[in-house]
Chains A and B, each alone.
Chain A
Amino acid sequence: MRRFIYLIPLAVLVVVGIFSIMQLKQVSGGKAVNILPSVLINREIPPFDLAPIQGRDRGFGSKDLLGQVTIVNLFGSWCVACQVEHPFLVKVKEKGLVPIYGIDWREKDPTAGPKWLARYGDPYTLVGNDPDSKAAIAFGVTGAPESFIVDQKGIIRYKHIGPITPKVWDQTLWPLIQELRKP
Protein backbone atom coordinates (compact mmCIF):
# COMPACT_ATOMS: atom_id res chain seq x y z
CA MET A 1 0.00 0.00 0.00
CA ARG A 2 2.74 2.38 1.02
CA ARG A 3 4.50 1.75 -2.27
CA PHE A 4 1.62 3.29 -4.21
CA ILE A 5 2.36 6.64 -2.59
CA TYR A 6 5.53 6.83 -4.64
CA LEU A 7 3.47 6.34 -7.79
CA ILE A 8 1.39 9.47 -7.19
CA PRO A 9 3.96 11.91 -8.65
CA LEU A 10 4.32 9.63 -11.66
CA ALA A 11 0.56 9.59 -12.15
CA VAL A 12 0.41 13.39 -11.94
CA LEU A 13 3.25 13.61 -14.45
CA VAL A 14 1.45 11.29 -16.86
CA VAL A 15 -1.74 13.38 -16.66
CA VAL A 16 0.18 16.62 -17.24
CA GLY A 17 2.06 14.94 -20.10
CA ILE A 18 -1.10 13.78 -21.84
CA PHE A 19 -2.60 17.25 -21.47
CA SER A 20 0.53 18.84 -22.96
CA ILE A 21 0.57 16.49 -25.91
CA MET A 22 -3.09 17.25 -26.60
CA GLN A 23 -2.34 20.98 -26.55
CA LEU A 24 0.65 20.50 -28.86
CA LYS A 25 -1.51 18.55 -31.30
CA GLN A 26 -3.92 21.47 -31.40
CA VAL A 27 -1.12 23.93 -32.09
CA SER A 28 0.34 21.80 -34.88
CA GLY A 29 -3.19 21.47 -36.24
CA GLY A 30 -3.16 25.22 -36.76
CA LYS A 31 -5.34 26.12 -33.81
CA ALA A 32 -4.39 29.01 -31.56
CA VAL A 33 -4.71 27.88 -27.96
CA ASN A 34 -4.16 31.20 -26.22
CA ILE A 35 -7.54 32.48 -27.41
CA LEU A 36 -9.18 34.71 -24.89
CA PRO A 37 -12.73 33.60 -24.31
CA SER A 38 -15.24 36.01 -25.79
CA VAL A 39 -18.13 36.81 -23.52
CA LEU A 40 -19.96 38.45 -26.42
CA ILE A 41 -20.88 35.20 -28.19
CA ASN A 42 -24.66 34.82 -28.47
CA ARG A 43 -25.19 38.36 -27.29
CA GLU A 44 -26.38 41.42 -29.15
CA ILE A 45 -23.77 43.57 -30.90
CA PRO A 46 -22.72 46.51 -28.76
CA PRO A 47 -24.28 49.76 -29.96
CA PHE A 48 -21.81 51.83 -31.96
CA ASP A 49 -21.79 54.38 -34.74
CA LEU A 50 -18.63 54.95 -36.73
CA ALA A 51 -17.74 57.91 -38.93
CA PRO A 52 -16.66 57.23 -42.53
CA ILE A 53 -12.99 56.95 -43.41
CA GLN A 54 -11.49 59.83 -45.34
CA GLY A 55 -12.88 60.29 -48.84
CA ARG A 56 -16.14 58.42 -48.20
CA ASP A 57 -19.52 59.76 -47.23
CA ARG A 58 -20.82 56.89 -45.11
CA GLY A 59 -19.52 55.02 -42.11
CA PHE A 60 -21.67 52.41 -40.41
CA GLY A 61 -23.24 51.58 -37.09
CA SER A 62 -24.83 48.66 -35.28
CA LYS A 63 -28.20 49.34 -36.97
CA ASP A 64 -26.70 48.71 -40.43
CA LEU A 65 -26.00 45.11 -39.48
CA LEU A 66 -29.62 44.11 -38.86
CA GLY A 67 -31.70 42.02 -41.28
CA GLN A 68 -28.99 39.80 -42.76
CA VAL A 69 -26.06 37.63 -41.77
CA THR A 70 -22.91 39.74 -41.90
CA ILE A 71 -19.23 39.59 -41.09
CA VAL A 72 -17.68 42.44 -39.15
CA ASN A 73 -13.97 42.53 -39.86
CA LEU A 74 -11.50 44.61 -37.90
CA PHE A 75 -8.44 45.70 -39.83
CA GLY A 76 -5.79 48.39 -40.07
CA SER A 77 -3.27 49.45 -42.67
CA TRP A 78 -0.57 48.86 -40.02
CA CYS A 79 -1.63 45.28 -39.46
CA VAL A 80 0.51 42.76 -41.33
CA ALA A 81 -1.74 39.77 -40.72
CA CYS A 82 -4.63 41.75 -42.25
CA GLN A 83 -2.76 41.82 -45.55
CA VAL A 84 -2.59 38.04 -45.40
CA GLU A 85 -6.36 37.56 -45.22
CA HIS A 86 -7.23 40.50 -47.44
CA PRO A 87 -7.11 38.79 -50.88
CA PHE A 88 -9.42 36.11 -49.53
CA LEU A 89 -11.93 38.70 -48.29
CA VAL A 90 -11.83 40.37 -51.72
CA LYS A 91 -12.68 36.99 -53.26
CA VAL A 92 -15.62 36.56 -50.88
CA LYS A 93 -16.88 39.97 -52.00
CA GLU A 94 -16.42 39.14 -55.71
CA LYS A 95 -18.42 35.95 -55.31
CA GLY A 96 -21.09 37.86 -53.37
CA LEU A 97 -21.12 35.26 -50.59
CA VAL A 98 -21.78 37.48 -47.57
CA PRO A 99 -21.58 41.23 -46.89
CA ILE A 100 -18.45 42.19 -44.96
CA TYR A 101 -18.38 45.36 -42.89
CA GLY A 102 -14.94 46.79 -42.14
CA ILE A 103 -13.76 48.60 -39.05
CA ASP A 104 -10.61 50.54 -39.85
CA TRP A 105 -8.89 50.39 -36.47
CA ARG A 106 -6.38 52.83 -35.02
CA GLU A 107 -5.05 54.60 -38.08
CA LYS A 108 -2.61 57.30 -37.02
CA ASP A 109 -2.77 58.84 -40.48
CA PRO A 110 -6.40 59.25 -41.65
CA THR A 111 -5.37 58.72 -45.28
CA ALA A 112 -3.60 55.41 -44.56
CA GLY A 113 -6.78 53.28 -44.46
CA PRO A 114 -8.25 54.55 -47.76
CA LYS A 115 -4.85 54.23 -49.45
CA TRP A 116 -4.46 50.69 -48.21
CA LEU A 117 -7.92 49.75 -49.56
CA ALA A 118 -7.15 51.38 -52.90
CA ARG A 119 -3.97 49.34 -53.14
CA TYR A 120 -5.16 45.92 -51.98
CA GLY A 121 -8.83 46.10 -52.96
CA ASP A 122 -11.95 46.87 -50.98
CA PRO A 123 -13.99 43.85 -49.88
CA TYR A 124 -16.27 45.87 -47.61
CA THR A 125 -19.90 46.88 -48.00
CA LEU A 126 -19.27 49.80 -45.65
CA VAL A 127 -16.20 50.90 -43.73
CA GLY A 128 -16.20 52.74 -40.39
CA ASN A 129 -13.29 54.63 -38.92
CA ASP A 130 -12.25 53.71 -35.36
CA PRO A 131 -9.16 55.77 -34.55
CA ASP A 132 -9.57 55.64 -30.76
CA SER A 133 -10.69 51.99 -30.34
CA LYS A 134 -14.29 52.88 -29.39
CA ALA A 135 -15.78 50.06 -31.45
CA ALA A 136 -12.78 47.78 -30.88
CA ILE A 137 -13.22 47.91 -27.09
CA ALA A 138 -16.99 47.59 -27.45
CA PHE A 139 -16.37 44.33 -29.34
CA GLY A 140 -13.80 43.17 -26.78
CA VAL A 141 -11.07 43.10 -29.40
CA THR A 142 -7.47 42.38 -28.38
CA GLY A 143 -5.71 42.58 -31.73
CA ALA A 144 -6.23 42.73 -35.48
CA PRO A 145 -7.49 41.07 -37.53
CA GLU A 146 -10.58 39.85 -35.74
CA SER A 147 -13.85 38.92 -37.39
CA PHE A 148 -17.34 38.51 -36.01
CA ILE A 149 -20.25 36.70 -37.59
CA VAL A 150 -23.46 38.55 -36.78
CA ASP A 151 -26.89 37.07 -37.49
CA GLN A 152 -30.04 38.77 -38.84
CA LYS A 153 -31.12 39.91 -35.38
CA GLY A 154 -27.76 41.48 -34.62
CA ILE A 155 -26.58 38.67 -32.34
CA ILE A 156 -22.87 37.84 -32.41
CA ARG A 157 -22.58 34.14 -33.28
CA TYR A 158 -18.87 33.65 -33.76
CA LYS A 159 -15.57 35.38 -33.20
CA HIS A 160 -12.50 34.53 -35.23
CA ILE A 161 -9.12 35.79 -34.07
CA GLY A 162 -6.39 36.15 -36.67
CA PRO A 163 -6.49 35.99 -40.46
CA ILE A 164 -9.38 34.23 -42.20
CA THR A 165 -7.79 31.42 -44.19
CA PRO A 166 -9.52 29.25 -46.83
CA LYS A 167 -9.39 26.40 -44.29
CA VAL A 168 -11.11 28.39 -41.53
CA TRP A 169 -13.66 29.61 -44.08
CA ASP A 170 -14.51 26.14 -45.42
CA GLN A 171 -14.53 24.39 -42.07
CA THR A 172 -16.11 26.94 -39.78
CA LEU A 173 -17.25 30.30 -41.11
CA TRP A 174 -19.11 29.35 -44.30
CA PRO A 175 -20.99 26.39 -42.77
CA LEU A 176 -22.03 28.62 -39.87
CA ILE A 177 -23.20 31.42 -42.20
CA GLN A 178 -25.31 28.93 -44.18
CA GLU A 179 -26.70 27.48 -40.98
CA LEU A 180 -27.69 30.95 -39.74
CA ARG A 181 -29.42 31.76 -43.05
CA LYS A 182 -31.81 28.83 -42.68
CA PRO A 183 -35.21 30.18 -41.65
Chain B
Amino acid sequence: MTEFLQTGLTAHYNYWIYIILMLIGLWAMMAKVNLIKKIIGMNIFQTAIILFYVSIGAKKGGTIPILEHAPGHGHEYIMDAALYINPLPHVLMLTAIVVSVATLGVALALALKTYREHKTLDEDEILSHLSE
Protein backbone atom coordinates (compact mmCIF):
# COMPACT_ATOMS: atom_id res chain seq x y z
CA MET B 1 0.00 0.00 0.00
CA THR B 2 2.77 2.45 0.95
CA GLU B 3 4.69 1.44 -2.15
CA PHE B 4 1.60 2.08 -4.28
CA LEU B 5 1.17 5.50 -2.68
CA GLN B 6 4.85 6.32 -3.19
CA THR B 7 4.92 5.47 -6.90
CA GLY B 8 1.55 7.15 -7.25
CA LEU B 9 2.76 10.38 -5.71
CA THR B 10 6.07 10.50 -7.55
CA ALA B 11 5.33 9.02 -10.98
CA HIS B 12 1.57 8.87 -11.51
CA TYR B 13 0.28 11.95 -9.73
CA ASN B 14 -0.73 13.48 -13.09
CA TYR B 15 -3.21 10.65 -13.69
CA TRP B 16 -4.58 11.10 -10.18
CA ILE B 17 -5.27 14.77 -10.86
CA TYR B 18 -7.24 13.91 -14.03
CA ILE B 19 -9.15 11.16 -12.24
CA ILE B 20 -10.18 13.57 -9.48
CA LEU B 21 -11.12 16.22 -12.05
CA MET B 22 -13.10 13.65 -14.04
CA LEU B 23 -14.93 12.47 -10.92
CA ILE B 24 -15.85 16.07 -10.05
CA GLY B 25 -17.40 16.37 -13.51
CA LEU B 26 -19.17 13.04 -13.20
CA TRP B 27 -20.47 13.98 -9.75
CA ALA B 28 -21.90 17.22 -11.15
CA MET B 29 -23.56 15.32 -14.00
CA MET B 30 -25.11 12.72 -11.72
CA ALA B 31 -25.95 14.48 -8.46
CA LYS B 32 -26.79 18.06 -9.42
CA VAL B 33 -30.40 18.78 -10.32
CA ASN B 34 -29.81 22.07 -12.16
CA LEU B 35 -29.36 21.47 -15.90
CA ILE B 36 -26.76 24.23 -16.33
CA LYS B 37 -24.68 22.70 -13.51
CA LYS B 38 -24.89 19.37 -15.29
CA ILE B 39 -23.59 21.00 -18.49
CA ILE B 40 -20.72 22.59 -16.54
CA GLY B 41 -19.98 19.14 -15.10
CA MET B 42 -19.85 17.72 -18.63
CA ASN B 43 -17.33 20.41 -19.59
CA ILE B 44 -15.15 19.63 -16.54
CA PHE B 45 -15.25 15.97 -17.55
CA GLN B 46 -14.16 16.81 -21.10
CA THR B 47 -11.31 18.99 -19.79
CA ALA B 48 -10.07 16.08 -17.66
CA ILE B 49 -9.98 13.82 -20.73
CA ILE B 50 -8.16 16.48 -22.76
CA LEU B 51 -5.51 16.91 -20.05
CA PHE B 52 -5.13 13.14 -19.81
CA TYR B 53 -4.48 12.79 -23.53
CA VAL B 54 -2.06 15.70 -23.66
CA SER B 55 -0.06 14.30 -20.74
CA ILE B 56 0.21 10.92 -22.51
CA GLY B 57 2.08 12.70 -25.30
CA ALA B 58 4.65 14.28 -22.95
CA LYS B 59 8.29 13.17 -23.11
CA LYS B 60 11.05 14.20 -20.70
CA GLY B 61 13.36 16.58 -22.53
CA GLY B 62 11.07 16.83 -25.56
CA THR B 63 9.90 20.09 -27.10
CA ILE B 64 6.72 20.99 -28.99
CA PRO B 65 6.17 18.89 -32.14
CA ILE B 66 7.28 21.55 -34.63
CA LEU B 67 10.51 20.68 -36.41
CA GLU B 68 13.41 23.00 -35.61
CA HIS B 69 16.11 24.12 -38.01
CA ALA B 70 19.47 22.45 -37.64
CA PRO B 71 22.34 24.75 -36.58
CA GLY B 72 23.79 26.71 -39.46
CA HIS B 73 22.12 28.52 -42.31
CA GLY B 74 20.92 25.51 -44.30
CA HIS B 75 17.31 24.43 -44.70
CA GLU B 76 17.90 21.21 -42.80
CA TYR B 77 15.64 20.21 -39.93
CA ILE B 78 16.40 18.23 -36.78
CA MET B 79 14.34 15.05 -37.07
CA ASP B 80 15.13 13.03 -33.95
CA ALA B 81 12.05 11.36 -32.46
CA ALA B 82 13.44 11.64 -28.92
CA LEU B 83 13.59 15.45 -29.09
CA TYR B 84 9.92 16.08 -29.88
CA ILE B 85 6.86 15.13 -27.88
CA ASN B 86 4.25 12.83 -29.40
CA PRO B 87 2.14 14.88 -31.88
CA LEU B 88 -0.78 12.44 -32.09
CA PRO B 89 -2.56 13.24 -28.78
CA HIS B 90 -2.27 16.94 -29.62
CA VAL B 91 -4.05 16.42 -32.95
CA LEU B 92 -6.81 14.42 -31.29
CA MET B 93 -7.34 17.01 -28.56
CA LEU B 94 -7.15 19.96 -30.94
CA THR B 95 -10.29 18.73 -32.63
CA ALA B 96 -11.81 17.55 -29.33
CA ILE B 97 -11.63 21.07 -27.87
CA VAL B 98 -13.60 22.56 -30.77
CA VAL B 99 -16.09 19.71 -30.68
CA SER B 100 -16.53 20.21 -26.92
CA VAL B 101 -17.38 23.86 -27.57
CA ALA B 102 -19.89 22.74 -30.19
CA THR B 103 -21.51 20.19 -27.83
CA LEU B 104 -21.60 22.88 -25.14
CA GLY B 105 -23.49 25.12 -27.55
CA VAL B 106 -26.03 22.41 -28.39
CA ALA B 107 -26.43 21.51 -24.70
CA LEU B 108 -27.07 25.16 -23.81
CA ALA B 109 -29.59 25.44 -26.64
CA LEU B 110 -31.45 22.39 -25.32
CA ALA B 111 -31.37 23.79 -21.77
CA LEU B 112 -32.79 27.09 -23.03
CA LYS B 113 -35.54 25.26 -24.91
CA THR B 114 -36.36 23.29 -21.76
CA TYR B 115 -36.46 26.50 -19.74
CA ARG B 116 -38.83 28.10 -22.23
CA GLU B 117 -41.11 25.07 -22.04
CA HIS B 118 -41.15 24.52 -18.26
CA LYS B 119 -39.98 27.88 -16.82
CA THR B 120 -37.44 26.05 -14.67
CA LEU B 121 -34.05 24.34 -14.99
CA ASP B 122 -34.63 22.08 -11.99
CA GLU B 123 -34.63 18.45 -13.09
CA ASP B 124 -37.05 17.23 -10.41
CA GLU B 125 -39.58 19.95 -11.20
CA ILE B 126 -39.35 19.19 -14.92
CA LEU B 127 -39.95 15.49 -14.22
CA SER B 128 -43.00 16.28 -12.07
CA HIS B 129 -44.28 18.57 -14.88
CA LEU B 130 -43.85 15.76 -17.38
CA SER B 131 -45.60 13.13 -15.25
CA GLU B 132 -48.66 15.33 -14.71
Q: Do A and B bind each other?
A: no
